[in-house]
Structure 1
Amino acid sequence: MDFTYHITPIDGLFVLALSLFLGFEVIKHIPAVLHTPLMSGANAISGIILFGGLIQLVTTPPDRIWVLVFSSIAVFLGAVNIAGGFFVTHRMLAMFQVNKKDRKKS
């Protein structure tokens, strides 16, 4: 069973507009306390983008150069976003840890 589906440019623009609107609405209503778990979720989504870009790179024929270029950019930006997200999440979690000096005082 060979099934292929091609996304048209209109489909891509619709998905982009819908995801931008939905993402903005979700982030707008998140309380400040939940921003650290939200960052972890964003790292997971970036991981999906990274794997999707890698799959696209492996399965695309070499003559479709623009697909390869954009897939490479997606892999690079996904990797940068994952690394930066983990760094920022680590720093945010470090703000909630009590120092050993502070524990002895109380």
Structure 2
Amino acid sequence: MSQDLYTNIAIFVLSLLVGFEVISKIPATLHTPMMSGANAIHGVVVVGAILIALEAQSLLFYVIAFCAAVLGAINVAGGYVVTDRMLTMFSKPKAQNNADNDKGGK
């Protein structure tokens, strides 16, 4: 195995440990906003998958890059949906129309 592979594995393991430590320190009330933002930032993966697809030298690499782009796009869309649902929790309730609330008399 090459030295680059060992370096990349070490960076990956360290990022897992740091990520776990950071996420475990986040209070439950901030977890949803943090995750929705992280899913929206996931667009970087979509861009990376497109760049990899441009350089694909075989059909297998192209299919893997396409799957990564599709899954990344789904994650981005999910991030926006979660963010929208979260923001509606903090909005003022809409006033009901009197015509909808009429019961036939005063």
Tell me the residue number matched to 1:47.
Answer: 43
Deviations 1:38-75 (A, max 9, x none): 134313431000100001101222x3x33223212211
Tell me the residue number matched to 1:20.
Answer: 16
RMSD: 2.6
Write out the 4+ residue segments of structure 1 that deviate beyond 3 Å after TM superposition: 8-16
Larger radius of gyration: 2
**% same residue:** 45
CA drift of 1:94 comes to 1.1
Where does the alignment leave 5 or more consecutive residues of structure 2 unmatched?
96-106
Identify if the C-alpha distance between structure 1 residues 19 and 56 changes in structure 2 by more than 3 Å, giving closer, same or farther. Answer: same
Say how many residue pairs are matched. Answer: 94
CA drift of 1:12 comes to 4.6
Q: Which amino acid aligns with 2:34?
A: L
Where does the alignment leave 5 or more consecutive residues of structure 1 unmatched?
1-7, 102-106
Tell me the residue number matched to 1:86.
Answer: 80
CA drift of 1:88 comes to 1.2
TM-score when scaled to structure 2? 0.69
Distance 2:34 2:76 in 1: 13
Matched ranges for 1:62-77 at <5 A: 63=58, 65-77=59-71
